[in-house]
Amino acid sequence: MEKFEVDLVGKIGSMALICKQDNDIDYNIFRRLSLQLRPGMIWVSSGATEIGRLDYMKRNGGAELAGDIEEVKADYSAQGQSILMETYRRFIPHEYSVRQVLVEHQHFNSPEKREHIRSMLLRATRQNAIPIVNYNDPVSSEENRKLELNILRNNGNGEVVECIDNDETAAVIAELVHARLLIIMTSVDGIYEDPCDPKTLAREVTGSDPDELESEIRKLQACCNGASRRGSGGARAKLEYIIPVVRKGTTVIIGNAHYTLDDLVNSRVPHTRIGIR
């Protein structure tokens, strides 16, 4: 039987954590999710930028920041990070430690830094702690990031990861720690063959070996278009990011954040499940 080092790596998207009607944090989702987190899980959470934006508006008469979009994103993210972590700490059972892990693309493109992060995440499992991972937006501008990535590619560093999308960050971490499951929580039930028709939910994508599975994922990718928000890669990008990790045996579940982790893991609710048979 294959040995996995971590039971589950999960990720939740920004819009899944927001109550659109109230223009506020969806505390029900935070509470339901946090109560199911436990040591042996690594949680990748978007939301800092959007939560920071909402918090800024509350404190400034509804006005939003203006100016360079990269600077605005950095400022919102810096304001939202503490709120994001405080909210997880409030609802995660108190017998577990909670650890914030802020990462950048450079951490995963350096063998030494990758191993440092891997060791830290695996120690958390043994130390009764739950890591909450997020990309460190406040200190990473797009211009500098692109320059650094181009230098790495030109130096022949092989596969280079960007990780500005937390879907990619979650997939990279799941591969790094050889997770049994990678769960990506979104604001929809999974991946659709026709995004306009909920009846076309792709419930299972499987292959008898890594090559056949990748071929099936590529077929589903051809149906995908659009994204839930500016800067998001959407379903096509999610499928691209998960290919390396499913090829190594991890099962991926893409489902709605309104469902519980247990219901998604145990197939009690609609979702997309991707893995080798």
Tokens 């935070």 belong to residue: 30
| Helix intervals (H) in the chain | 27-34, 48-59, 69-91, 105-108, 111-126, 142-154, 166-176, 210-221, 234-246, 261-265
Q: Say if strands 97-103 and 129-135 run parallel, antiparallel, or are unpaired.
A: parallel
To the question of domain 6-276 being in CATH 3.40.1160.10, the answer is yes
Angle at the Cα of 106 from the Cα atoms of 103 and 38, rounded to 5 degrees: 25
H or E, element range at 39: none
| Angle subtended by helix axes 111-126 and 166-176, to nearest 10 | 80
Calpha distance 26→89 (Å, rounded): 15
**pLDDT in the model for residue 225:** 66
The predicted-structure confidence for 154-173, as pLDDT tens digits, reads as follows 665 556 666 668 899 999 99
Q: What percent of the chain has pLDDT over 90?
A: 70
Question: 221, 119, 122, 237: which is closest to 169 by C-alpha?
Answer: 237
Q: What is the dihedral of CA 212, 213, 218, 220, to 10 degrees?
A: 120
**pLDDT in the model for residue 2:** 67
> Is the confidence at residue 256, as pLDDT, over 50?
yes
The predicted-structure confidence for 133-149, as pLDDT tens digits, reads as follows 998 777 665 555 555 55
Calpha distance 181→158 (Å, rounded): 26
Listed in sequence order, the residues at least 6 apart from 93 whose beta carbon sits closer than 8 Å to its beta carbon are 35, 38
Q: Please state the pTM of the whole predicted model.
A: 0.87
**pLDDT in the model for residue 151:** 56
The SS3 of residue 268 is coil
> Is the confidence at residue 59, as pLDDT, over 80?
yes
Q: Say if strands 41-45 and 6-12 run parallel, antiparallel, or are unpaired.
A: parallel
DSSP state of 208: S
180, HSE (Cβ side, Cα atoms, 13 Å) = 11
Q: Which residue has the higher pLDDT, 76 or 151?
A: 76
Q: Which residue has the higher pLDDT, 146 or 85?
A: 85
Calpha distance 234→15 (Å, rounded): 12
Q: How far is CA 11 from CA 44, 89, 110, 237, 255, in A?
A: 4, 17, 23, 14, 11
3-state helix, strand, coil in the chain (%, to 5): 45, 20, 35
